[in-house]
Structure 1
Amino acid sequence: MYHKRFVAALLAAALAVPTGVAHAHPGHGGPATEAPAVNPLYGNGWQRLAPIAGGPRQEHSVAAIGKHVYVIGGIRPDGNGGFVTVPDVEVYDTIRNTWRHAAPLPVPMNHPNAVAVGGKLYVLGGLSGGASWQALRDSFVYNPVTDRWTALPPMPVGIERGSAAMGAFGRRIYLAGGMRTLTPGPGGLQDTVASVHSYDVLTRRWTTLPDLPEARDHVGGAVVGRTFYVLGGRDRGQVNVRDTTYAMDLPSGKWTERAPMPTPRGGIAAAAVGSKIYTFGGEGKIVNGANTVFSETEAYDVRSDRWEKLAPMPIPRHGTAAIAVGGTIYIPGGGNLGGGAPLDVHDAFRAK
C-alpha cells in the first residue's frame, strides 16, 4: 500500500500536480495498526486529559500563552491510508480541560519551529510537501488577542529547516539543528543539520551562532537560565538515535557537553520546569528488528548535571511535543508506533 502511495506522489510531482498530501518518511507509511494500551497505567504524576478535539495529530509543535496550550500544524490521517500536512491550530484551556480552534497557519506545516515570546506565537519555518518534505522559509507571528497570523520576513536562504531544537531568552529565539529534507521511501534522504541561529523578535534580524558539536534533528530543546540545552535526537534516520546533552552558554555562544541521557532517543518531547528538563517518549527503539516507540520519562537537572528516571508514559509516543504551564507538562498527540501513527491522546505530567 505504501509503495502505491509513494509512486502516486512521485507521478503527481513529475506532472506538477499539487496533491496537498505530505506523505511521511520511511516508516511513516500508513495509519496505526495497533491501538493504544487498553488499560494504560496513570498515576505517579500522570493524568489523562480531554483528547485533541480535532482528532489525531503528529509531528506538530506546541507552545503556551498564559494558561492556554497551542497545538500547531503537524500531520493527520488523510482517510486514504496516508497523511496530510495541516495548518490547524487548536488551543487547550488548562483550567477548563476544553479545546477550541484558533486561526490556522497561513501555510500547512509539519515539524514547525514554534515558540512563544512576549505573549505571541512565532513559527519560523518547518517542513511540508508531497513526494518529499522540504524545509520552508515561511515565518509568521500570531496574536491571540486578534486571533490573526501575520507574515514575517522569511528565513534567510540556506538556514531554513524543520524539527529544530527551540528555546527563547529575552527577545531572542534560538534554533539548533533540524532537517532540510525528509524524503519518503527506502533510503530516502534525511538531511540533518548542525547549524544554530537566533532571531530577534524586535529587529527581525537573524544571527548565525556556533554550530552544534554534531548534527541533530527530532531533538529536545530548552533554555534554563542563560543556557540553551539540546538533548538527544537523531542524525539522518529514525534509528540513528543519540544520548548527547549539549549546552550553549548564551552570552558567549560556547557549546559544552554535559551528562548523557540514560536512554538514547530521537523524536522526543521536552519541557523545562525550574532547574530540570523533562524528556518524554521517542522513536528508534529496535525490538525484533522493528522500529518502535519509547515509553521513557527522564529528567535532567541542570544544576547537578544528573539524569533521573521517572514514571514511564502511560501511552508511549513519539513525534509529539511538550510544554509546561506552572508545574504541569502537557503532551498532546504523537504516534504510538514507529513512523506515522497519529493519536488524539492528551496527557499531563506533574513535575517534581
Structure 2
Amino acid sequence: MAVPSAQEFHWQSLARLSSGRVYHSLAEAGGQLYVVGGCDEAGRPINALDLYSPEVDQWVGLPPMPTPRAGAAVAVLGKQMLVVGGVGKDQRPLKAVEMYNTEEGKWRKRSSLREAAMGISITAKDGRAFAAGGMGADLLPRSILQQYDLRKDVWALLPSMPTPRYDTNTCLLGSKIYVAGGRQCKRCVKSFEVFDMESRSWATLPSLPCKRSYSGVTWDSDGRFHWLGGLRQGGLHQRSKFTNNTNIFDTQHGFWLKSEDTVSMKTKRADFACAVLRGRVIVAGGLGYQPSVMDSVEAFHPEKRKWERLAPMTTPRCSASSIVIRDRLLVVGGVNQIPSSAHEILYVKDEEIL
C-alpha cells in the first residue's frame, strides 16, 4: 500500500466530551472507542465511562466505574475491559481492579492488585493481561511484573524486572514483552529490558540513548521502537530542554539505529500525541518553546526520509490521549490552559471517516 502524501491527511472535529478531561484512558473494544475515568476540570478523578457513537456523532454515557480514578491501566480481553490501578479521589494509588463487560453493560469487581499502584503499564494477549511496574503508596517505583488470568480471576507474579520503574512503555511482540524507559521518583530511567514468556527470563537491551521525559513512543509494523522528542533532563544547574531527536530501536537485530540513519522532527516538542498511521509516524500538538500549547502536526515519510508538515489540529493541546482505530487517529481531551473536551480525528481523505 502506497504511503499517503501530506496533502491526503485531514482533521475533522467530532462531538466533544461532556466536559474537559485529562489523564483519562482510551480503549478499543469491538472497533468502538471507550474513554475511561480521568481528571475533571477541578483535577478530581472521576468514574465516568463514555462510548463514542460514530453513527450519530455523539458520546454515550455508560454505567460509571465503581471506583473513580485517573491514569488507570486498561487492557481489553475479548468483550471484557480490565481497569487496573491509577489514582483515586484522595490522590493516592489504588489497588482496585474492575472489569466492564461491553456486551452486558455491567461492571464487576475483580481480584485486587497485591498493593496499590499508579503508573502501571499493561499489555494483553490470549485472555491474559501483563502489568509492569508502577509507583506504590510510598512513592517508590516497583519492579513487579504480574499476569492476570481472565478465566481464573487471579494475579500471578512473574520474575521481576531488573529495573524498578513506573510510567514505562511496554509492547508485546510475539512471546516477548519489551519495557522501555520510565521514571523513578522524578528521575527518568534509560533502562530497556525484554521479558521472554517462554523462558520466563529477562534480558537487558542497549539503554535508551539519553534521559528524556514526556517523549512520544510508537511501535511500527516491523517491530521497531520509535522514541520521539520529549524534555531532555538537564544536569546540575542546567535547565531541561525540549528536543526533536528521533531514536529507533530494531528489535529484530537488537540495536539502536545510528544517528545518521534517523531524521529529527521539524519541531522540538514534548507531551504530544503520536502514532503510526498508514505507514507514517505522526506527531501532533504538545509543548515546546512556543508561548502556548501547540497545534502543529508532522509526519515522517519513510521513502523521502523526511518529516513533512500536515494540517494542524483544530484545537491546540498537550497531554491528550490518542488511539488508532481502523486507520484513523483519534485524539481526545488533553490540556489547553484547562482540561479540554476536544475530540478530533486524523484520516486520509480517500476514505470514509468513522
TM-score (norm 2): 0.66
Q: Distance in 2 between matches of 1:198 and 1:120?
A: 27
**Counterpart in the other structure of 1:94:** 54
**Counterpart in the other structure of 1:52:** 17
Change in 2 beyond 3 A, CA 1:276/1:315 = same
Q: Deviation per CA, 1:304-342: give whole Å up to 9, x if none.
A: 5421110111110000022122232111101113xxx20
**Counterpart in the other structure of 2:215:** 219
CA contact (8 A) 2:225 2:249 kept: yes
Q: Distance in 2 between matches of 1:122 and 1:247?
A: 31
Change in 2 beyond 3 A, CA 1:224/1:263 = same
**Counterpart in the other structure of 1:345:** 342
SS of residue matched to 1:295: strand
Aligned residues: 285
CA contact (8 A) 2:79 2:103 kept: no
| Aligned ranges 1:273-288 → 2 under 5 Å | 273-287=277-291
The reply on whether 1:161 has 2:122 as its aligned counterpart is no
Q: Distance in 2 between matches of 1:121 and 1:208?
A: 30
Q: Which amino acid aligns with 1:319?
A: S
**Counterpart in the other structure of 1:39:** none
The reply on whether 1:177 has 2:181 as its aligned counterpart is yes
Gaps of 5+ in 2: 1-7, 115-130, 134-141, 144-163, 350-354
Larger Rg: 2
Q: Distance in 2 between matches of 1:47 and 1:241?
A: 29
Q: Distance in 2 between matches of 1:305 and 1:105?
A: 48
**Counterpart in the other structure of 1:61:** 25
Q: Which amino acid aligns with 1:91?
A: L
Gaps of 5+ in 1: 1-42, 182-189
Change in 2 beyond 3 A, CA 1:64/1:284 = same
SS of residue matched to 2:339: coil
Q: Which amino acid aligns with 2:11?
A: W
Change in 2 beyond 3 A, CA 1:178/1:121 = farther
| Aligned ranges 1:173-212 → 2 under 5 Å | 174-181=178-185, 190-197=186-193, 207=202, 209-210=204-205, 211-212=207-208
**Counterpart in the other structure of 2:324:** 324
Which structure ranks higher in relative contact order (CA pairs < 8 Å, sequence separation ≥ 6)? 1
Q: Distance in 1 between matches of 2:271 and 2:93?
A: 17
CA contact (8 A) 2:69 2:86 kept: no
CA RMSD in angstroms comes to: 3.8
Q: Deviation per CA, 1:99-152: give whole Å up to 9, x if none.
A: 233653857233x5556576765667656796xx88888887765446557456
Q: As a proportion of its length, which structure holds more strand?
A: 2
CA contact (8 A) 2:228 2:246 kept: yes
SS of residue matched to 2:264: coil
Q: Distance in 1 between matches of 2:94 and 2:192?
A: 16
**Counterpart in the other structure of 2:227:** 230
CA contact (8 A) 2:226 2:247 kept: yes
The reply on whether 1:108 has 2:72 as its aligned counterpart is no
